[in-house]
Amino acid sequence: MDFQKVDIGKEHLLLSMTDIVKLVSNRKIMLDSYAKSKNIELVFVSTTDSYSTAVDESKMEKIIDNLISNAIKYSPANSQIQIELKCDDKKWVLQVKDNGIGISKKAQKQLFKEFYRGDNAINSKVVGSGIGLLLVKNYVTMHNGSISCSSQENVGSTFQVVIPFKPISSKSEIINSLSDIPIPKSPVEDLIHHTESENVVQASKEMKILIVEDNDELLNFLKSTLSLDFKVSTAVDGEKAWELISRQIPDLVVSDIMMPNMDGFELCKLMKSTYETSHIPVVLLTALSEKTDQLHGLGLGADDYLTKPFDMSLLLQRIKSIIHNREVVRGKAFKLINGESADPVIHVNEHNDKFIKNILRVARENISNSEFSKDEFASLVNMSSSLLYKKTKSLTGLSPTDFIKTIRLDHALSLIQSRKYTVTEVSELSGFTSVAYFSTVFRKHFGKSPTEI
């Protein structure tokens, strides 16, 4: 796992009342697939079903993720990791115990120092910066807590975090919004050198998201969280997901990679190579962290890539970023509509590029046909009316009816500026049945009436 350096003098806590039992359980769920990939079982036990205390949830997630992922990293296959939470009215204690390679007495003294990593043979083969435990210690200290380690070589290690109970004393300290938590930069942005606008488009409550994940606990966790902002459906593997996608055409798919029957790579490749589904954005989730795996997913057409564990605020930000990127594509489409662009490529996906250019061609060919309907439009592009609506709306931001209207209005503007036709003639040549209606929509679109141009 990668963690940024932390300057304890500059970092601040964003405290909110948080159920620690639920938080630890959710992070364990997030790391289950990583453990499973190494045939390691994660076992979580707690002395209570619920325990609310004031913590910085984002920083606490990093503490928990680091300790559990380290235990997985340094444990042998077919072993078990115990995650134990003990809570009382004064404090709560988190223990992560593994049966791994262990840490020498000498190494334990240097454990929480910057860039230190153990020097045993196995550890030297494990990729990492060595800064994780330094960050963990600093975040624990910021919560007025302590962290310790007891370990024996070739037996295992136990890391213990002790945090005092803290109630919120002022409502002003409570921060419930995920948007208040700083979002790390996307690794995909590094891969494609993309700079994202600060004005991220807000997610729509009407947006339909399909989650594909074979871990039931993680699937339910993702569903319960994303359902607050989106309409969510689920599938347990790629095959079942493809059946749902073919029937429902969701607005976005969030998929795990390692799944039975059809994995996430196969599902992504199938979606992006199929004309009817190529417009649907795909976010891949995986326990695999190698950059080659990320590049493979992106090469198949994935819109983004997240390595487990991640916090939900990051996933929400990535979804918003994808919506923003679609606005960029729509901007290119509008430039082509207005004749402002000579760029032959509107969309990097060949099927999407072909679709946009095809609907543009059909709309222009029927520009003066006032009886041209959305059903006839769908027939001429060889797809159902519902699929035409979904693809056109996704790639241009307009319904087919509004898309045609935009084409006609831009054509009307060009005719008026030529000074060769009357307003009535322009209305007819642009496919409007009524001059009054034409004048109304023209003013609404351009801010001026046809006679004022």
pLDDT at 160: 97
- The answer to whether the CB of 94 falls within 8 A of the CB of 61 is no
Strands 231-235 and 208-212: parallel
Instruction: Determine how many CB atoms are found less than 10 A away from the CB of residue 374.
Output: 16
Q: Which residue has the tokens 């009886």?
A: 371
What is the rounded CA–CA span in Å between residue 93 and residue 161? 6
Please identify every stretch of the chain with a pLDDT value under 70, giving residue numbers as ranges.
1-11, 113-131, 169-205, 288-298, 329-330, 332-348
pLDDT at 172: 40
SS3 at position 323? helix
Q: What is the CATH number of domain 206-310?
A: 3.40.50.2300
pLDDT at 9: 47
The pLDDT tens digits for 100-128 are 988 888 888 878 765 445 554 344 344 34
Residues in Cβ contact with 124 at an 8 Å cutoff, skipping those fewer than 6 apart: none
Helix 312-337 / helix 400-417 crossing angle, nearest 10 deg: 40
The pLDDT tens digits for 37-76 are 889 999 999 999 999 999 999 999 999 999 999 999 999 9
Q: What is the CA radius of gyration of the chain?
A: 27
Same fold, 206-310 and 332-452: no
pLDDT at 351: 84
DSSP 8-state secondary structure symbol assigned to residue 51: -
Strands 304-307 and 282-286: parallel
The pLDDT tens digits for 401-426 are 999 999 999 999 999 999 999 999 99
Answering whether pTM is above 0.75, one says: no
Strands 208-212 and 282-286: unpaired
> Which run of H or E residues covers position 162?
strand 156-164
Reading the block at residue 180, the tokens are: 């208040």
Q: Which residue has the tokens 């992106």?
A: 298
pLDDT at 111: 82
Task: In the chain, count H helices and then E strands.
Answer: 17, 12
Domain segments of the chain as ranges: 15-167, 206-310, 332-452
- The answer to whether the CB of 241 falls within 8 A of the CB of 260 is no
Question: What mean pLDDT is reported for the chain?
Answer: 82
Fold of the 15-167 domain: Heat Shock Protein 90 (3.30.565)
Q: What is the CATH number of domain 332-452?
A: 1.10.10.60
pLDDT at 305: 87
